[in-house]
Structure 1
Amino acid sequence: MKIGNPPFEYDWLSDWAAIPDSDSAEFGWAHHGMAVTQTGEIIGVHPANPSILVFSQSGDLHRSFTVPIREGHQLALSTDNGEECLWIADPGRKNLKSSGYDPVPGERGGQVLCVSLTGQPKKTISTPEHPVYEHGNFAPTSMTVFDTGSGGNGDVWVADGYGESIVHRMDSAGNLIGSINGEEGDAGRFDCPHGVWVDYRKADPELYVADRANRRVQVYDLEGVYKRVFGEEVLTSPSAFAVDGQYMIVAELRARLAVFDLDDSFVTYIGENESISGN
């Protein structure tokens, strides 16, 4: 089966990955991100257990390891003194098919965890010291690093998509530098900023925010200054980002990817399904 439209047309390989058999996997929801290392390994999260799965390009399971999370909701990679590190956004809740959208209770709260590619803990970012959390809930859905390996300063941007709909800027030690909420420009307040991503395609890197419930993407510089907004006409639920050469891929709910060029202009959909997406 093929999906997408030329030149963004792909073969669908439904049995690509050798995911370990597990009774719990049948009852979990796999809505995490994926990450590709410098050596080409592909990283994902077990749909029910707090385990990281590392695959080869051909889908063979290279290794797996357990991490102290409730749920691996989004993944990102950065470099630390030449070593790749894996970042995991954990909203602190877990959904199972049996409970619908009601999270399964647990002791662990929201956090962002950084580990080595073999699972050794490196850093943990807990609830930021921000007034919104005096009565609010920290439930991060994504993070991105202004990577020192790409000329950045190591700042970590954390999207509290399932908590207070705010994006925080931390230094490399996890200290809060500042926050943005969408009111910095004309677009307006974020509503579920589900994904964040640093775009290095241009001379001056930019921060992209998937403002999911508002069906748009907001763009900032790396100091948190608002620049522009786009996507309302073609997006239904922007949730995460990836890059393919000069093209940006926006992941949406309901089995769809949207492709944009370097100027944020829409190109095509991959996996468009009108009966599912309703668009």
Structure 2
Amino acid sequence: MNRRVFIGRAAVGLTAIAAAKDVLGNADPIYGHHGLFYRQVKGWGVLDANRFPVNDCHEMVQDSRGRIFLLTNETRNNVLIYDTKGRLKASWGKEYPGAHGLSIAGEGSDQFLLITDTEKHQVYKTTLDGRVLMTLDYPQEAEIYANKDAYVPTETAVAPNGDIYVADGYGQQYILHYGADGKLKGWFGGRGEGDRFLDNAHGIAIDQRAGKPTLLVTDRTRCCFKRFSLAGELLEIIDLPGAGVCRPVIHGDRLYAAVLRSPDMNQANSGFVTILDKANKVVANIGGTEPIYEGGKLQVMTQSSPLFAHPHDVCVDKDENIYVAQWASGKVYPYKFERVAGKN
């Protein structure tokens, strides 16, 4: 695979390349822009595929102990647990054929996972070792679905008060709002043409960077994130032209996302990873073109090197290293990208 360094256009490119060489002192490929540079850790997380196989590597999270949890729809081991060096620590799960969304919430020993299953049309709250604590079935009581097959949940997010939000990203495009006890409290969104509606509401996250928590929801077909209040009021649209983004991942002041395809959803093997700052401005892409703003408007972004096929999720550790899980990419294990030391 030709993994060349891609660092910007001429105006900032020479400075960025020189800075990368000064810090690294070697010729390893470096990816990124505007002070955010990364090097791939070759061979990270690769296991014996006969004993610990993966199919689609859908999502990854890190627990309070620093362990990395990978969710795959391979039913010989739905969950693989790594340390940050890529060594397998544990595995579990054989009952989630449509394993898709993986979220983590809670504190310390009270942390728990939320798993969405697109084939079973359910959401599961589990302990970190896989014991099921609660199951959210399809919301029949809402009377917005003809049957359970019309409900295909892809992602979850947990509010500060414990309420659970479920994105029906492969179904009717609603955001379902549950109490911490699993009782349905409401819904918003749904399929439609206006701004408040959604199309491929693939991911959802709680964003507290501005203080008051809000919901960031993926509108992947339209290449944007939409910000809603916790009550479902549309507050903002973050346009990302050319980027068919998966779920938003908040880490510190930045927003990270895997871009499944670019410049549109019909272009296979064309993904990259995008990084936004607190002002929701794209500052760097890994495997993608430099983000360029003209007249305050972000220009179309595309893949710049064939580093990824279909990146599906990112996980960011405490050292700001990035882990990338991929869908339909030849059953590859996750990739790790080290943040280049000395860059801000």
TM over 0.5: yes
- 1:126 is matched with 137
Query: Contact 1:156–1:170 (CA<8 Å) still a contact in 2?
Result: yes
Q: TM-score, normalised by structure 1?
A: 0.83
C-alpha distance 137-201 of structure 1, shift in aligned 2 (>3 A) = same
Output the CA distance in 2 between the equivalents of 1:46 and 1:134.
29
C-alpha distance 183-194 of structure 1, shift in aligned 2 (>3 A) = closer
Query: Contact 2:61–2:104 (CA<8 Å) still a contact in 1?
Result: yes
Output the CA distance in 2 between the equivalents of 1:143 and 1:117.
16
Counterpart amino acid of residue 60 in structure 1: R
Q: How many residues align?
A: 253
- 2:86 is matched with 59
Q: Which runs of 5+ in 2 are unaligned?
A: 1-28, 261-269, 289-302, 309-344
**What's the CA shift for 1:265?**
2.0
**Mapping 1:71-110, distance limit 5 Å:** 71-79=98-106, 83-92=110-119, 109-110=120-121
* Segment of structure 1 superposing worse, 44-53 or 32-41: 44-53
Query: Contact 1:191–1:211 (CA<8 Å) still a contact in 2?
Result: yes
- 1:251 is matched with 258
**Mapping 1:37-186, distance limit 5 Å:** 37-49=63-75, 50-79=77-106, 83-92=110-119, 109-128=120-139, 129-135=141-147, 137-146=150-159, 152-181=160-189
* Segment of structure 1 superposing worse, 235-244 or 58-67: 235-244
Query: Contact 2:191–2:199 (CA<8 Å) still a contact in 1?
Result: no
Output the CA distance in 2 between the equivalents of 1:190 and 1:115.
28
Query: Contact 1:18–1:61 (CA<8 Å) still a contact in 2?
Result: no
Query: Contact 2:287–2:304 (CA<8 Å) still a contact in 1?
Result: no
- 2:243 is matched with 236
Q: Residue 197 in 1 paired to residue 213 in 2?
A: no
Q: Which runs of 5+ in 1 are unaligned?
A: 93-108, 147-151
Output the CA distance in 2 between the equivalents of 1:24 and 1:184.
41
Counterpart amino acid of residue 33 in structure 1: E
Higher relative CO (CA 8 A, sep ≥ 6), structure 1 or 2?
2
Output the CA distance in 1 between the equivalents of 2:73 and 2:177.
29
**What's the CA shift for 1:245?**
1.9
**Runs of 4+ in structure 1 over 4 Å off:** 182-186
**What's the CA shift for 1:118?**
1.1
- 1:22 is matched with 50
* Segment of structure 1 superposing worse, 44-53 or 240-249: 44-53
Counterpart amino acid of residue 120 in structure 1: R
Counterpart amino acid of residue 169 in structure 2: G
Larger radius of gyration: 2
CA RMSD in angstroms comes to 2.4
SS in 1 for 2:144: helix
